[in-house]
């Protein structure tokens, strides 16, 4: 029999080994908390504090944290987490954090800044009401569970600044800016030494916190965060480009020389990062009681007509941008940091002092983005391609946070048409598929009663683009080809069938699509004869029916859906959709193929003598190639004609912009014309020539200077120039078919789930190919070059063709 001491030790060992509860399947013991009197659905910034005594420094102290809208968590004065990752109320993320590294024996203070933006929230922010939640993982950590023992304070220093569509004269939906009055700010509120005795007890909500799928009430369905925390690192502006009524040089930006602004002065400083970035600016000031500092952010400066022109030039240009504001209280080393990151190349400080001079002590940015790691590389005999790679990669990084962004400055919304391209870039350059998985799941959560996905999600503003629902299906096909993840892909089949069925129900007796509801966006092109379309980006034949482009995109998707359905045993359905795709192709060719011009028209050909005009686009012909709507023997010639089309001539085709050129590049790959890819990059070189440091949404004049759908050359340099593509689902084997064009050498590397794939090729004087290919263990493949093939095995091998 064990002595009493032995029993206690044994009991403690058992307790230590008892796993904590599974918080994904049971009610939480912590409660959602909020302010007892402040409105729960109106703008407000709140601070929460909880003091706990610990007998010793723990080796593990795990908590689960969430808030609505957002939180920033501090432990003993140190910032340790920000969240929750953006989602919707029925898939509300919480972060799991081990606080042990920040805790100590004795007194510890947990503090959180929680904000609710109300009417000024970004469109990407979905919401239920103000709330904050901390759940300790086990009995050890339950001492920090949110309840009425937490204290709360509403910070009166904060008020919103409208940075809306009327002010900036364009579509901008990233939410309000921050105005902070230092005189009413509780400085040091997050520090353990702060005196919070005047703060009130938090109020608990009268329903329990719970994971998704439990309970009778809606509110927040909690799910664990599936992506890592965002990266954050210091970043300094590089150059003072303009000063008015004050002296500032680059030493201030380097943190070496504070700047003093005299009394009763309005000084303006235009600062240049040198390239576009996403960062939390942190401005520290001293003295200057009552002085107002406005921080204005812009991608580029504009001239008197609102045009950007060369992004490096200042002459005759001003900054019109998103604003924050800080009002000094005369104290020492007061730091302003906005609640959310800002996007800028140019940052302008406008300082207006009163009766006391102001000292600008420091200005530094904290860069933030999804923590993608650049693992791929492409080096070619054309060294100018390196700049396209670097700027493309910066573009992709700035358009990826807790979800993919169409653009970081204006919207920060995750649109499917953009995300499909962004995901392929992520897979090829980083090998990290977590944000792609989250995006696919986000769109699945967005489905509504029509059976379609929403066009962008998470989004508090409902929008539907049926073409983007089709690209969601294609995005799942992309994921299936590159990753072995059958349970996840299979879980998407019900949503896929809803999308396919919606489009099938709208096929007219002509065999083409009939009238279509919602916004049938294809590209930001200047569409010919699309007068019936009230929204931009829509070709003729969407509203009334008969669009070859939309019909062919259906076919393009049906063929990919057929592959997925067949793989998961739904052979009859698979063949049904494949046959629908073939019928659409046949109907489009019969009614829209203009044999005289050798082109596919956007809508059925208008016979001579009848009213109306037949219009033509690159888009219809690109999709005709990708779907085999024109015979394979004609596809290469058709694509050559599309690329050679004179822009702006009387018979010119509607041109594909940067976004849809992704599909042009895919058609080059399909038809064996990949050698022409590099020569198609002139529009990207043109962007670099006018000072862009990220790739733009559209050809000039453009709204957004940073749009990751325009970063597709990164993916194509690896998949066309290096020729690396999956040969079967799950990337189990590899097809390598390089297209060097005018290049003489290419050296490329990309991550595969089992290791790196590396290629190194040189063209011979007689048009052959030599080099090496390295494949990961257990991966085989085929090398193809000008009609010849060579089997590839795992490991490094020398190749000659």
Tell me the C-alpha distance between 768 and 785, whole Å.
8
Residues pairing with 627 in the sheet: none
Tell me the C-alpha distance between 731 and 608, whole Å.
51
Residue 641 lies in a domain: yes
Q: What is the pLDDT of residue 648?
A: 62
**Is the bond preceding residue 619 a cis peptide, omega within 30 degrees?**
no
The pLDDT of 334-352, averaged and rounded, is 98
For 331, the domain range is: 231-369
Phi-psi bin for 25: left (phi > 0), alpha (psi -120 to 50), beta? alpha
Residue 649 lies in a domain: yes
Residue 790 lies in a domain: no
Tell me which of 622 and 218 has the higher pLDDT. 622
216 shares a domain with 101: yes
Those residues whose C-beta lies under 8 Å from the C-beta of residue 290, and which sit 6 or more positions away, are 327, 328, 330, 353, 354, 355, 356
Residue 519 lies in a domain: yes
243 shares a domain with 195: no
- Which helix (H) or strand (E) element contains residue 214? none
Residues pairing with 64 in the sheet: 96, 135
664 shares a domain with 521: yes
Angle at 389 between CA 383 and CA 394, to 5 degrees: 140
Stated pTM of the model: 0.96
Number of Cβ within a 10 Å radius of residue 251: 12
The pLDDT of 501-517, averaged and rounded, is 97
515: nearest Cα among 472, 544, 493: 544
Number of Cβ within a 10 Å radius of residue 406: 22
Question: How confident is the model over 25-68, as pLDDT tens digits?
Answer: 999 999 999 999 999 999 999 999 999 999 999 999 999 999 99
- The pairing of beta strand 292-298 with beta strand 158-161: unpaired
Residue 453 lies in a domain: no
295 shares a domain with 220: no
Q: What is the pLDDT of residue 11?
A: 38
Q: What is the pLDDT of residue 743?
A: 97
Between 7-11, 125-129, 332-336, the lowest mean confidence (pLDDT) is in 7-11
Q: What is the pLDDT of residue 12?
A: 41
301 shares a domain with 284: yes
Tell me the C-alpha distance between 480 and 726, whole Å.
10
Q: Could you write out the DSSP letters of every residue in 768-797?
A: -EEEEEEE-TT-EEEEEETTEEEEE-SEEE
DSSP E strands: which ranges in 508-650? 593-594, 599-600
- The pairing of beta strand 203-204 with beta strand 33-34: antiparallel
Residue finishing a domain among 369, 402, 423: 369
Q: Could you write out the DSSP letters of every residue in 621-661?
A: HHHHHHTT-S-HHHHHHHHHHHHHPPTTSTTPPBPP-HHHH
Looking at residue 562, which CATH number applies to its domain?
A: 1.50.10.10
Does the pLDDT value for residue 607 go beyond 90?
no
Question: How confident is the model over 715-767, as pLDDT tens digits?
Answer: 999 999 999 999 999 999 999 999 999 999 999 999 999 999 999 999 999 98
139: nearest Cα among 32, 25, 63, 65: 63
**Total residues found in the chain within this entry:** 801
Average pLDDT value over all residues in the chain: 95
Tell me the C-alpha distance between 413 and 435, whole Å.
14
Residue 582 lies in a domain: yes
Residues pairing with 46 in the sheet: 114, 154
289 shares a domain with 151: no
Tell me the C-alpha distance between 616 and 653, whole Å.
5
The pLDDT of 315-330, averaged and rounded, is 97
Residue 452 lies in a domain: no
Between 162-171, 275-284, 644-653, the lowest mean confidence (pLDDT) is in 644-653
Question: How confident is the model over 562-585, as pLDDT tens digits?
Answer: 999 999 999 999 999 999 999 999
Looking at residue 250, which CATH number applies to its domain?
A: 2.60.120.260
Q: Are 562 and 474 in contact (CB under 8 A)?
A: no
- The pairing of beta strand 755-763 with beta strand 769-775: antiparallel
Angle at 405 between CA 433 and CA 557, to 5 degrees: 65
Tell me the C-alpha distance between 781 and 794, whole Å.
8
238 shares a domain with 220: no
Classify burial at 677, counting beta carbons within 10 Å of its beta carbon; exposed 0-12, middle 13-18, buried 19 or more.
Answer: buried
Tell me the C-alpha distance between 114 and 107, whole Å.
23
659 shares a domain with 523: yes
Tell me the C-alpha distance between 673 and 643, whole Å.
11
The pLDDT of 488-514, averaged and rounded, is 98
333 shares a domain with 219: no
Q: What is the pLDDT of residue 8?
A: 39
The pLDDT of 384-391, averaged and rounded, is 98
Tell me the C-alpha distance between 263 and 763, whole Å.
69
Question: How confident is the model over 323-342, as pLDDT tens digits?
Answer: 999 999 999 999 999 999 99
* First vs last C-alpha separation in the chain: 79
Residue 758 lies in a domain: no
Phi-psi bin for 316: left (phi > 0), alpha (psi -120 to 50), beta? left
205 shares a domain with 286: no
DSSP collapsed to 3 states, 73-127: EEECCEEEEEECCCCECCEEEEEEEECHHHCCCEEEEEEEEEEECHHHCCCCCCC
104 shares a domain with 235: no
Residue finishing a domain among 320, 344, 369: 369
Q: Are 784 and 736 in contact (CB under 8 A)?
A: yes
DSSP collapsed to 3 states, 424-445: HHHHHHCCCCHHHHHHHHHHHH
Q: What is the pLDDT of residue 612?
A: 66
289 shares a domain with 142: no
Does the pLDDT value for residue 17 go beyond 70?
no
Helices vs. strands in the chain: H and E counts, helices first: 16, 35
Tell me the C-alpha distance between 360 and 370, whole Å.
31
* Domains of the chain: total: 3
């Amino acid at each position: 029999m064990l002595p009493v001491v032995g029993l206690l030790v044994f009991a403690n060992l058992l307790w230590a080994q008892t796993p904590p509860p599974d918080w994904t399947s049971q009610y939480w013991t912590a409660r959602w908390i909020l302010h007892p009197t402040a409105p729960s659905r109106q703008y407000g910034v709140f601070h929460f504090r909880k003091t706990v005594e610990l007998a010793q420094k723990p080796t593990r102290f795990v908590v689960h944290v969430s808030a609505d809208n957002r939180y920033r968590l501090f432990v003993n004065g140190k910032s340790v987490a920000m969240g929750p990752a953006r989602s919707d109320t029925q898939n509300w993320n919480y972060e799991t954090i081990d606080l042990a590294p920040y805790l100590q024996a004795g007194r510890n203070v947990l503090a959180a800044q929680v904000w609710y933006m109300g009417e000024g929230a970004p469109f990407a922010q979905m919401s239920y009401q103000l709330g904050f939640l901390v759940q300790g993982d086990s009995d050890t950590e339950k001492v920090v569970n949110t309840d009425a023992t937490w204290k709360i304070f509403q910070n009166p220093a904060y008020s919103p600044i409208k940075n809306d569509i009327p002010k900036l004269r364009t579509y901008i939906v990233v939410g309000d800016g921050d105005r902070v009055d230092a005189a009413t700010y509780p400085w040091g509120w997050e520090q353990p030494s702060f005196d919070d005795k005047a703060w009130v007890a938090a109020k608990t909500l009268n329903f329990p916190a719970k994971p998704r799928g439990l309970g009778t009430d809606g509110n927040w369905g909690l799910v664990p965060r599936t992506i890592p925390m965002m990266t954050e690192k210091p970043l300094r502006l590089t150059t003072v480009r303009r000063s008015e009524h004050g002296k500032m040089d680059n030493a201030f930006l380097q943190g070496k020389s504070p700047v003093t602004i005299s009394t009763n002065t309005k000084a303006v400083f235009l600062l240049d990062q040198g390239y576009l970035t996403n960062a939390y600016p942190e401005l520290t000031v001293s003295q200057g009681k009552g002085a107002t500092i406005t921080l204005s952010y812009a991608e580029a400066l504009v001239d008197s007509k609102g045009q950007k022109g060369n992004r490096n030039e200042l002459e005759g240009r001003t900054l019109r941008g998103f604003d924050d504001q800080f009002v000094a209280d005369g104290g020492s080393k007061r730091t302003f940091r906005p609640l959310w990151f800002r996007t800028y190349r140019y940052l302008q400080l406008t300082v207006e002092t009163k009766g006391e001079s102001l000292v600008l002590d420091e200005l530094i940015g904290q860069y933030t983005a999804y923590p993608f790691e650049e693992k791929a590389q492409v080096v070619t005999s054309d060294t100018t391609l390196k700049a396209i790679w670097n700027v493309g990669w910066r573009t992709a990084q700035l358009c990826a946070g807790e979800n993919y962004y169409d653009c970081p400055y204006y919207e920060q919304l995750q649109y499917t048409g953009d995300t499909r391209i962004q995901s392929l870039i992520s897979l090829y350059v980083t090998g990290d598929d977590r944000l792609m998985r989250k995006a696919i799941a986000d769109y699945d959560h967005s489905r509504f009663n029509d059976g379609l996905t929403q066009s962008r999600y998470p989004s508090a503003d409902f929008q539907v683009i049926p073409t983007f629902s089709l690209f969601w299906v294609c995005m799942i096909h992309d994921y299936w080809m590159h990753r072995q993840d059958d349970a996840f892909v299979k879980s998407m089949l019900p949503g896929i069938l809803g999308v396919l069925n919606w489009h099938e129900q709208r096929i007219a007796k002509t065999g083409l699509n009939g009238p279509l509801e919602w916004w049938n966006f294809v590209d930001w092109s200047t569409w010919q004869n699309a007068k019936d379309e009230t929204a931009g980006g829509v070709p003729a034949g969407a509203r009334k029916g008969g669009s070859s482009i939309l019909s062919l995109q259906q076919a393009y998707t049906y063929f990919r859906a057929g592959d997925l359905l067949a793989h998961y045993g739904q052979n009859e359905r698979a063949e049904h959709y494949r046959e629908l795709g073939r019928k659409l192709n046949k109907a489009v060719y019969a009614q829209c193929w203009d044999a005289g011009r050798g082109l596919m028209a956007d809508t059925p050909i208008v016979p001579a003598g009848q009213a109306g005009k037949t219009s033509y686009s690159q888009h219809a012909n690109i999709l005709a190639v990708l779907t085999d709507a024109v015979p394979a023997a004609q596809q290469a010639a058709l694509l050559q004609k599309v690329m050679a089309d004179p822009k702006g001539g009387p018979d010119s085709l509607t041109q594909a912009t940067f976004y849809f050129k992704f599909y042009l590049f895919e058609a080059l790959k399909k038809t064996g014309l990949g050698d022409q890819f590099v020569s198609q990059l002139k529009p990207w070189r043109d962007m670099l020539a006018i000072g862009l440091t990220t790739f733009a949404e559209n050809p000039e004049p453009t709204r957004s200077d940073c749009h990751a759908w325009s970063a597709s050359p990164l993916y194509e340099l690896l998949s066309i120039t290096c020729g690396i593509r999956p040969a079967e689902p799950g990337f189990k084997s590899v097809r390598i078919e390089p297209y060097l064009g005018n290049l003489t050498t290419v050296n490329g590397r990309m991550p595969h789930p089992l290791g790196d794939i590396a290629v190194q090729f040189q063209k011979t004087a007689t048009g052959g190919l030599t080099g090496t290919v390295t494949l990961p263990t257990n991966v085989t493949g085929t090398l193809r070059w000008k009609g010849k093939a060579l089997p590839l095995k795992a490991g490094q091998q020398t190749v000659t063709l």
